[in-house]
C-alpha cells in the first residue's frame, strides 16, 4: 500500500479542481441557450433579492422619518400656541399698566397735544402795542393794525385828491399840446413855401445846364465823325500800300530762291520754303517704285517659303498615317494571338474541371462532423 504524500494530495486536488473547472466550462460553452442569450438566472435571482431588501430598508427608513416629522409637527404646534398665549398676556399686562400709571395728563409734553390748549390759551394779541407781539412771533404785519378802518378812509381820500390833481394836470398838458401843434403847422407851411420857391429855381437852372450840355455833345459828335473819316481814309491808304508790297514781294510770287539757305544747297529756310521742285519729285517717285518692286520680291520669297513648308507638312502627315496603319495591323495580330491563347486555356480548364469532378466523388458523413467540439480548448 502506497503512502499518500502531501505533494500527492496537492497534485490530486489540483487535478480535481481543474477537472471540475473544465466540466463547468464545457457546460457553459456547450449550452447553446446560455452561450447565445447569455442569461444567468442565479445572478438575476440574487439581484432581485438584493433589490427587495434594499427597497424594504428604504421603506422602513422613510417611515421612521415620517414618524419623526409628525412628532416634530406636534411639538411645533404646542410651542406656537404657548408663544401666542404668552404674547397675548404680555400685551394685556402692558395695556393695563399704561391705563393705570401712564395717563396722557401725567406726561411732561401733554401741553403740546392737549385738545383744549386753544381754549385755555390767550389770544394772539390784545392791542397793537402788546409786549408779546415780537418780530419773530409774526402776529402783526403792515396793514393789519387795529386802526385799519380809519387808515383806509384816509387813504381813499388821499387817492381822490391825487386823481383830481392828475385831471387838472392832464387838461393843462392838452392845452400846451394844442398850442405846440398850431405852431408846428405854421412853421410847416412856411417851410413848404420856401421849398416850392427853391424847386422852381432848381428846375430853371437844370434846363439851362441841359441846353449847354446838348450843344457840347453836338460839337463832340461832329468832331468824332470827322476823326473817323480821317482814320478810315488813312487805313485804306495803308492797306493799298501793303497789298502792292505783297504782290511785288517774293512771298506771293513763290520765288524758290528765297528759300535757299546760306549753310549749303541741301538746306532750306523753313519759313520761306514753298515746296519741292520737279526734279526732287521725280527722284522721290523713282525711289517709291524701287521700294514697291522690293516689296513684291519679298512677298514672292515668302510665298515660296510657305509652299515649301506646306509640302513638308503634307509629307510628314502622310508618313504619320502610314505608321499608324502599321501599328493598327500589329495590334490586330497581337489580339488574334491572345484570343487563340485564351481559347486553348479555356479548353484546358474545362478538361481539368471534368477530371476533378470524376476524381472527387466522396461525400462527408456524420462521423466527419462529430470529431469537432470534443474539447473546450
Which pLDDT belongs to residue 291? 93
Please check whether residue 262 lies inside any domain of the structure. no
Please check whether residue 326 lies inside any domain of the structure. no
Q: In this structure, how many other beta carbons lie within 10 angstroms of the beta carbon of residue 226?
A: 10
Q: Report DSSP letters for 83-120, one per residue.
A: HHHHHHHHHHHHHHHHHHH--GGGSTTGGGS-TTHHHH
Residue 44: give the domain boundaries.
6-99
**Interval 187-210: pLDDT, tens:** 888 888 888 888 888 888 888 888
Please check whether residue 306 lies inside any domain of the structure. no
Helix and strand counts by DSSP (H, E) for the chain: 8, 2
Element (H or E) spanning 260, and its range?
strand 260-261
The grid cell for 103 is: 395717563
In angstroms, the CA 258 to CA 271 distance is 10
Report yes or no: 273 and 259 within 8 Å, Cβ to Cβ.
yes
Which pLDDT belongs to residue 91? 93
Domain count of the chain?
Answer: 1
In angstroms, the CA 142 to CA 135 distance is 12
In angstroms, the CA 225 to CA 281 distance is 58
Which pLDDT belongs to residue 148? 74
In angstroms, the CA 174 to CA 167 distance is 11
Element (H or E) spanning 264, and its range?
strand 264-268
261: β partners = 264
User: Greater confidence, 6 or 206?
Assistant: 206
**Interval 287-333: pLDDT, tens:** 999 999 999 999 999 999 999 999 989 999 999 999 999 999 999 99
pLDDT band per the 50, 70, 90 thresholds, residue 376: low
pTM, rounded to two decimals: 0.23
- 231-236 mean pLDDT: 88
In angstroms, the CA 124 to CA 112 distance is 17
Which pLDDT belongs to residue 4? 57
* Alpha carbon separation from 290 to 280, 285, 316, 330, 359 (Å, rounded): 16, 9, 39, 61, 103
DSSP single-letter state for residue 374: -
Please check whether residue 93 lies inside any domain of the structure. yes
Which pLDDT belongs to residue 215? 86
Please check whether residue 274 lies inside any domain of the structure. no
In angstroms, the CA 20 to CA 14 distance is 10
Which pLDDT belongs to residue 1? 46
In angstroms, the CA 260 to CA 182 distance is 106
Q: In this structure, how many other beta carbons lie within 10 angstroms of the beta carbon of residue 22?
A: 13
In angstroms, the CA 27 to CA 318 distance is 87
DSSP single-letter state for residue 5: P
Please check whether residue 64 lies inside any domain of the structure. yes
pLDDT for 41 beyond 60:
yes
Sequence-ordered list of residues with C-beta below 8 angstroms from that of 250, at least 6 positions apart, any chain: 257, 258, 272
- Least trusted range by pLDDT, from 41-45, 64-68, 84-88, 335-339: 41-45
User: Greater confidence, 253 or 187?
Assistant: 187
Please check whether residue 83 lies inside any domain of the structure. yes
Please check whether residue 87 lies inside any domain of the structure. yes
Amino acid at each position: 500500500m502506497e503512502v499518500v504524500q502531501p505533494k500527492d494530495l496537492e497534485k490530486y486536488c489540483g487535478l480535481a479542481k481543474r477537472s471540475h473547472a473544465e466540466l463547468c466550462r464545457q457546460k457553459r460553452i456547450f449550452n447553446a441557450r446560455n452561450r447565445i442569450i447569455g442569461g444567468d438566472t442565479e445572478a438575476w435571482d440574487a439581484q432581485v433579492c438584493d433589490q427587495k431588501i434594499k427597497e424594504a430598508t428604504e421603506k422602513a427608513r422613510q417611515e421612521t422619518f415620517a414618524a419623526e416629522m409628525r412628532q416634530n409637527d406636534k411639538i411645533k404646534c404646542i410651542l406656537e400656541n404657548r408663544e401666542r398665549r404668552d404674547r397675548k398676556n404680555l400685551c394685556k399686562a402692558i395695556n393695563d399698566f399704561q391705563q393705570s400709571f401712564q395717563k396722557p395728563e401725567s406726561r411732561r409734553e401733554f401741553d403740546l397735544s392737549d385738545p383744549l390748549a386753544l381754549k385755555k390759551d390767550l389770544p394772539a394779541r390784545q392791542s397793537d402795542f402788546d409786549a408779546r407781539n415780537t418780530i419773530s412771533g409774526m402776529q402783526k404785519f403792515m396793514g393789519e393794525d387795529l386802526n385799519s378802518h380809519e387808515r383806509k378812509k384816509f387813504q381813499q381820500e388821499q387817492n381822490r385828491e391825487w386823481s383830481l390833481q392828475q385831471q387838472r394836470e392832464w387838461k393843462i398838458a392838452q392845452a400846451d399840446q394844442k398850442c405846440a401843434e398850431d405852431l408846428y403847422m405854421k412853421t410847416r407851411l412856411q417851410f413848404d413855401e420856401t421849398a416850392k420857391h427853391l424847386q422852381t429855381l432848381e428846375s430853371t437852372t437844370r434846363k439851362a445846364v441841359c441846353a449847354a450840355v446838348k450843344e457840347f455833345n453836338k460839337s463832340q459828335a461832329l468832331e468824332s465823325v470827322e476823326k473817323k473819316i480821317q482814320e478810315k481814309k488813312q487805313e485804306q491808304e495803308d492797306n493799298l500800300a501793303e497789298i502792292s508790297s505783297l504782290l511785288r514781294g517774293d512771298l506771293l510770287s513763290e520765288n524758290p530762291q528765297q528759300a535757299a539757305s546760306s549753310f549749303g544747297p541741301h538746306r532750306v529756310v523753313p519759313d520761306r520754303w514753298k515746296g519741292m521742285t520737279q526734279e526732287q519729285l521725280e527722284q522721290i517717285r523713282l525711289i517709291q517704285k524701287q521700294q514697291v518692286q522690293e516689296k513684291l520680291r519679298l512677298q514672292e520669297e515668302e510665298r515660296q517659303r510657305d509652299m515649301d513648308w506646306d509640302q513638308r507638312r503634307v509629307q510628314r502627315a502622310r508618313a504619320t498615317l502610314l505608321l499608324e496603319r502599321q501599328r493598327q495591323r500589329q495590334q490586330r495580330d497581337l489580339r488574334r494571338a491572345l484570343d487563340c491563347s485564351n481559347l486553348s486555356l479555356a479548353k484546358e480548364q474545362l478538361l481539368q474541371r471534368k477530371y476533378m469532378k470524376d476524381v472527387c466523388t466522396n461525400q462527408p458523413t456524420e462521423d466527419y462532423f462529430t470529431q469537432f467540439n470534443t474539447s473546450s480548448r
